[in-house]
Amino acid sequence: MAILGAINPVLMAGLDGDNSWQLKDYVARGGYEMLKKILAENIPQEQVIAEVKASVLRGRGGAGFPTGLKWSFMPRSFPGDKYVVCNTDEGEPGTFKDRDLIRYNPHAVIEGMAIAAYAMGATRGYNYIHGEVWEMYKRFEAALDEARAAGFIGQNILGSGFSFELFAHHGYGAYICGEETALLESIEGKKGQPRFKPPFPASFGLYGKPTTINNTETFASIPFILKMGGESFLNLGKPNNGGTKLFSVSGHVNRPGNYEIPMGTPFSELLQMCGGMRGGRKLKAVIPGGSSSPVLPGDVMMDCTMDYDSISKAGSMLGSGAVIVMDESTCMVKSLERLSFFYYEESCGQCTPCREGTNWLYKVVHRIENGLGRPDDLDLLSSVTTNIMGRTICALGDAASMPVQSFIKHFRDEFAHHIEHKTCLVPKDVQWAGSGFHKVAS
């Protein structure tokens, strides 16, 4: 199944399992109509961008930056190549929506990119696909072949004089290659390391040319926005939080998976769609927007709606829309240890605070988890995160720090207990009872 549940779906509407990804299916669903229309009617580029602005589509890759505004940064009259790049690197723990988009609705991404290229005058595009989902990469290549054969991409598209070449490129599984400038380096064949900004990609991007990078879901939304009109898309959600969004729900729910719901849907409703908490256990905490967003206690989360503003007000971020649900059997120290290990491992090692700091954070949390915590460790952790945040080249430093800060802020007693008693506050048998894995193993 493409999607486990939906309310007013847009991106995943009409998808029937694994069989409706092909060009004929997409066309039957009304696909490529907008591209045809834009090219046939020679709709001005500004008008396309204005429509995207009106939809208040915010980037689905994590930062939530308004897409229309981003597109308007591209220099209009630039001599030479400009690029659009799609970010399907999707390495953020908890996030697994883009791979389903590529798998079930790849032509929406292709059409969205072609329209974006038209609107920004780009001649070439790349889709950078996470290297560990090889079938999705092949699926996208197959879709590209279809689109090319049908003349939706390539030279002189549909006889309009507009040309746009689109290629797929796969990574090798480094999280940092999802950061947009590291991604560009990687496409260029270099080591995936973020670039210092400024200059921003819109002025110095791929191969030094103006480039716009958007997330897969962002691009996939474009054809639908243009079809229904920016305003209608906006109205699907709530003001400043336009449209529907895919949420990847994982953790201790009965039916983890992807859900497409309008922005502003209450979290409680989403939880219900997921079949509620596994084993009927109590909700303890939620990471609402991928592992880089601060964790929120369950009760705070139950009062939130699923949109940028509400989650942000509660002290976290909607991020990529990866909702990690944790029940009462979860040891928060163990959870943080795993997260910190991830960031320590995935730091590209380029800049000092992140390279050294992520390692320090992980080692201290690891020590606490293993009964070697010291009384001043929590202050130390908080001080180290302060020294990382806002001082690094890319946002990974912040991403590594926020979980540490929020876990300690909301679950300080668990950490204190670990340090003092060298053991978890959540009894081991409770933890095991909540662990599907443990049951299988024993």
Partner 1 sequence: MLEIEIDGKKAQVPDGSTVMDAAQQMGVYIPHFCYHKKLSIAANCRMCLVQVEKAPKPLPACATPVTNGMKVFTHSDLAVQAQKGVMEFLLINHPLDCPICDQGGECQLQDMSVGYGGMKSRYQEEKRVVFHKDVGPLISMEEMSRCIHCTRCVRFGQEVAGIMELGMANRNMHSEITTFVGRSVDSELSGNMIDLCPVGALTSKPFRYTARSWELQRRRSVSPHDSLGANLIVQVKHDQVMRVLPKENEAVNECWISDKERFAYQALNSDQRLTKPMVKQGGEWREVPWNVALDYVAHGLKDISREFGGDALAALAAPSSTLEELYLLQKLMQGLGCGNVDHRPRQQDFTSDGKRVGTPWLGMRLAELNNLDAALVVGSFLRKDHPLIAQRLRQAVRKGGAALSLIDLSADDQLVPLHARLTVAPSQLAQTLAAVVKAAAQQKGVELPAGLENVQVCEQAKAMAQSLIEGEKKAVFLGNAAQQSAAATQLHALGLQLAQITGATFGFLGEAANSVGAQLAWALPTGANARQMFEQPRQGYVLMGVEPEFDCANPQQALAALAQAKMVVLFSAFKHEPALAYADVLLPMAPFTETSGTFVNTEGRIQSFAGVVRPAGDARPAWKILRVLGNVLDLEGFGYNTSEEVRDQVLGGASEFATGLDNGLNGVTLQLPQAGQGMERIADVPIHFADPMARRAPALQRTRDAAAPAARMAAATLAQLGLQAGDLVRVRQGQGGAELAAALDEGVPAGCVRVAAAHASTAALGEMFGAISVERA
Task: Identify whether the C-beta of residue 56 lies closer than 8 Å to the C-beta of residue 66.
Answer: yes
DSSP states of 17-66: GGG--SHHHHHHTTTTHHHHHHHHHT--HHHHHHHHHHTT-B-TTTT--B
Distance between CA atoms of residues 30 and 226, nearest Å: 12
Which member of 153, 177, 394, 404 binds ligand SF4 (CB under 6 A)? 394
The phi, psi pair for 303, rounded to 5°, reads: -95, 0
- 364 lies in the site for partner 1, by CB under 8 A: yes
Which member of 46, 196, 207, 282 binds partner 1 (CB under 8 A)? 196
- Lay out the site mask for partner 1 across 388-407 (x = CB under 8 A, - = otherwise): --xxxx--------------
- 236 lies in the site for ligand SF4, by CB under 6 A: no
Distance between CA atoms of residues 107 and 417, nearest Å: 52
Please, which of residues 158-187 interact with ligand FMN by CB under 6 A? 175-176, 178-180
Residue/partner pairs of 343-347 with CB below 8 Å, 24 or more apart: 343/396, 343/399, 343/400, 343/403, 344/400, 346/91, 346/174, 346/175, 346/176, 346/396, 347/176, 347/396, 347/397, 347/400
C-alpha closest to that of 114 among 87, 147, 69, 145: 147
Q: How far is CA 299 from CA 27, 220, 292, 304, 410, in A?
A: 44, 33, 20, 9, 12
Which residue lies nearer to ligand FMN by CB, 5 or 68?
68
- 91 lies in the site for ligand FMN, by CB under 6 A: yes
Q: How far is CA 406 from CA 98, 181, 328, 337, in A?
A: 27, 27, 17, 13
Which member of 203, 232, 235, 359 binds partner 1 (CB under 8 A)? 359
Contacts of 140 (CB under 8 A, 6+ apart): 88, 102, 106, 109, 127, 129, 168
Which member of 9, 31, 59, 106 binds ligand FMN (CB under 6 A)? 59
Which member of 79, 159, 198, 375 binds partner 1 (CB under 8 A)? 198
Which residue lies nearer to partner 1 by CB, 105 or 358?
358
For residue 292, give the DSSP letter.
Answer: T
Which member of 348, 364, 404, 424 binds ligand SF4 (CB under 6 A)? 348
- Lay out the site mask for partner 1 across 139-178 (x = CB under 8 A, - = otherwise): -----------------------------------x-x--
- Lay out the site mask for partner 1 across 56-95 (x = CB under 8 A, - = otherwise): ----------------------------------------
Which residue lies nearer to partner 1 by CB, 16 or 345?
345
The entry of ligand FMN, ligand SF4, partner 1, none near residue 210 (CB within 5 to 8 angstroms by kind) is none
Q: Estimate the crossing angle of helix 412-421 against helix 332-346, to 10 degrees.
A: 100
State how far Cα 403 lies from the chain centre: 17
- Lay out the site mask for ligand FMN across 357-396 (x = CB under 6 A, - = otherwise): -------------------------------------xxx
Which member of 56, 354, 365, 426 binds ligand SF4 (CB under 6 A)? 354
- Letter string b/e over residues 413-432, b meaning 16 or more CB atoms within 10 A of that residue's CB: ebbbbbbeeeebbbeeebbe
Distance between CA atoms of residues 96 and 246, nearest Å: 9
CB of 93 to partner 1, least distance (A): 16
Q: Which stretch binds partner 1 (CB under 8 A): 35-43, 109-117, 348-356, 426-434?
A: 348-356
The entry of ligand FMN, partner 1, ligand SF4, none near residue 293 (CB within 5 to 8 angstroms by kind) is none
Q: Which stretch binds ligand FMN (CB under 6 A): 55-63, 184-192, 353-361, 419-427?
A: 55-63
- 311 lies in the site for ligand SF4, by CB under 6 A: no
Q: How many CB atoms lie within 10 A of CB 252?
A: 23
Which residue lies nearer to partner 1 by CB, 290 or 373?
373
The entry of ligand FMN, ligand SF4, partner 1, none near residue 238 (CB within 5 to 8 angstroms by kind) is none
Q: Please give the residue ranges that form the binding site for ligand SF4 (CB under 6 A).
A: 176, 194, 347-351, 354-355, 392-394, 396-397
